[in-house]
Amino acid sequence: MRVSRLIPTLLALALLSNAATAATAGNKLPALSADPTKTSTSGLSSGAFMAVQYDVAFSASTIGVGVVAGGPYNCFGVTFNILTCMQGAPKAAASYAAAQSFALLGQIDSVDHLASQKIYMFSGTNDPMVKQSVMNAVWDFFKAAKVPDTSIQYVKQFPAGHAFISADFGNHCPTTESPFIDECAVDGANYDQPNAILTQIYGPLHPKSATLSSAPMAFDQREFASPLADMADTGYVYIPSACQKGGTLKCAVHVVFHGCSQSADTDHVGDAVYGKLGYNAWADSNGIIVLYPQVNATIVNPNGCWDWFAYTGPLFQVKTSPQLSAVRAMVMRLMKN
């Protein structure tokens, strides 16, 4: 084949390949006129660190956070030690001072907004990855931010492993293994962590839906994330039918950050977080859109963790950081008319 004919052929093949990749990444995240006053976050492990980072960086527009086995804001930035931030006793005062400094520089929202937030915290007594001393530092951080005791729920009595806790799906309570979701009983019934988190943040909820009105949707994350973010091509979102275009509600947005080795692309995980954990049933009956952004394992991030330890750059904890800015853009899309 002549070169003059080969080049158009190669270009056509490249376009077909790109189109196929885009198709596998899912649909475009829709604009749904979500309520800008009702955004919140939660996460496990690296996702809990990330949930705190989002909550603090965008505190003016975030009303609460659920922290499951995570650490205080900018822990690595003040300790430069991953082990301290997972197994030690990080100093919350240093984290809060860093947040104040970033706020003075205009790199995150004013820390004054944190005082009005609702905080949920969970630390399993059998968690071998993130010790309760680290979660205690999360408590101390929010106390330094003048969050009242009545606005913080700290659950730390369950013999859980390093995992989200589901009411009807997962491993035995003390387990720390994929998909990092456990079932833990209390008073003869399984503890429902998604319910506990959403109730702490949004107040009393309507009973969860027995049958979902919708299904989780895959969407293309690449329009939001630069290559520096090192995020997956595909994210997921659950949109109750009442929150869809033409729906009857102006819905809240809750962002769920998975943990390390817990993205949908990971073996033995799949839809465990975005489809089975339990957020969707409560969201369905309470007008909450649930966003499940994704980070897959890569060469620079072999465990598929969210960036709380500077693998995307030293300013991983501010608004303009690659991952925080990408997730913020997703949230803003859901709020767009």
Among candidate residues 42, 45, 46, 166, the one labeled active-site is 45
**Is residue 206 within 8 Å of residue 286, measured between CB atoms?**
yes
Q: Is 209 an active-site residue? A: no
Decide: residue 279, CB within 10 A, 0-12 exposed, 13-18 middle, 19+ buried.
Answer: buried
CB atoms closer than 10 angstroms to residue 15: 10
| CA–CA distance, 137 with 318 (Å, rounded to integer) | 20
Among candidate residues 35, 55, 109, 127, the one labeled active-site is 127
315's tokens: 């300013």
Q: Is 162 an active-site residue? A: yes
- Neighbouring residues of 274: CB distance < 8 A, sequence distance ≥ 6: 216, 236, 238, 256, 264, 280, 290, 292
| CA–CA distance, 113 with 203 (Å, rounded to integer) | 19
Provide the H-helix boundaries in the chain. 3-25, 46-57, 75-79, 82-87, 92-104, 132-144, 193-202, 279-286, 322-335
Q: Is 254 an active-site residue? A: no
Among candidate residues 162, 230, 254, 321, the one labeled active-site is 162
- Catalytic residues, by residue number, are 45, 127, 162
